[in-house]
């Protein structure tokens, strides 16, 4: 039985797209093409740029992300993927809850959960909370932090989408047998 999960992630919410496999010249051309495709209806696309680390970035508005920015970020991502003819990974904003029933945990469950945490990709052992990755991916902070809450394990951070998928698969494989909410 897998651990139930509530997923409120938005794949493109960070506005940071991984194009490190391409030359700087190509990234600059892609930025101009996306600005041409999306620019007519956009408030923010004119700020789209390729950074020095190989990412294309749509900066967040000063007042923080809003619906207009999120919509434009998604349109920007679709335009880039359309221009390339293949998917582009983005730094994903992670905000999800895994339905572990901590009230029913016994010592063996806590030991198993600790083992699960240490077996997950990029475990960082010197942090007060469960923590993975904890480095900069091309100058952008990449991290996952787990917190215990009454609803389960709350996971926050930002990570490349593919790494999040791999992390989640590994978590689901190794967390089997732990008490989950709503199940006896």
* pLDDT given at position 160: 87
119 phi/psi in degrees, rounded to 5: -90, -10
The tokens of 120 are what?
């997950």
Of residues 11 and 51, more confidently modeled = 51
The answer to whether 49 touches 34, Cβ cutoff 8 Å, is: no
What's the whole-model pTM score?
0.74
Q: What is the pLDDT of residue 87?
A: 86
Rounded mean pLDDT of 99-125? 94
Give me the mean pLDDT over the 49-75 stretch. Answer: 78
pLDDT of residue 1: 57
- Tokens representing residue 92 in the block: 């994903």
Q: What tens digit of pLDDT does each residue of 139-184 get?
A: 778 889 999 998 899 998 888 888 888 999 999 999 999 999 885 5
Quote the percentage of the chain above a pLDDT of 70.
Answer: 88
Residue with the larger pLDDT of the pair 42 and 2:
2
Mean pLDDT confidence for 110-132 = 90
What integer pLDDT is reported at residue 128 of this predicted model?
Answer: 83
With bands split at pLDDT 50, 70 and 90, how would you rate the model's confidence at 14?
A: confident
Given a cut of 90, whether residue 17 has pLDDT beyond it is no
User: Is 70 exceeded by the pLDDT of residue 39?
Assistant: no
Smallest CA-to-CA distance from 99 within 18, 16, 12, 178 is with: 178
Section 30-45 average pLDDT: 77
Question: Are 69 and 61 a contacting pair, CB within 8 Å?
Answer: yes
Is the per-residue pLDDT at 134 higher than 80? Answer: yes
For the chain, the average pLDDT equals 84
Mean pLDDT of all residues in 13-18: 79
- Look at the alpha carbons of 122, 124, 130, 134 in this order and tell me if their dihedral is positive or negative: negative
- Domain assignments of the chain as residue spans, ordered by start: 5-10+92-174, 16-84
Instruction: State yes or no: pLDDT of 11 exceeds 50.
Output: no
| pLDDT exceeds 80 at position 102 | yes
Rounded to whole angstroms, how far apart are CA atoms 149 and 134? 22
Please, are residues 137 and 146 in contact by the beta-carbon 8 Å criterion? no
Within 10 A of 166 (CB to CB), how many other CB atoms are there? Answer: 14
Rg over alpha carbons for the chain, rounded to the nearest Å, is 19
């Amino acid at each position: 039985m897998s651990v139930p999960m509530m997923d409120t992630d938005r794949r493109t919410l960070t506005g940071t797209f991984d194009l490190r496999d391409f030359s700087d010249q190509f990234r600059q051309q892609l930025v101009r093409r996306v600005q041409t495709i999306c620019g007519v209806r956009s408030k923010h696309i004119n700020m789209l740029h390729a950074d020095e680390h190989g990412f294309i970035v749509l900066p967040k508005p000063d007042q923080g992300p809003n619906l207009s920015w999120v919509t434009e970020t998604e349109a920007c991502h679709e335009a880039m993927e359309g221009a390339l003819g293949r998917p582009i990974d983005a730094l994903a904003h992670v905000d999800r809850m895994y339905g572990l029933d901590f009230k029913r945990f016994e010592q063996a469950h806590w030991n198993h959960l600790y083992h699960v945490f240490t077996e997950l990709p990029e475990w960082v052992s010197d942090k007060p909370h469960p923590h993975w990755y904890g480095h900069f991916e091309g100058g952008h902070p990449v991290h996952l932090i787990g917190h215990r809450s009454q609803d389960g394990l709350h996971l926050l951070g930002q990570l490349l989408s593919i790494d999040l998928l791999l992390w989640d698969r590994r978590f689901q494989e190794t967390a089997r047998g732990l008490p989950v909410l709503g199940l006896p």
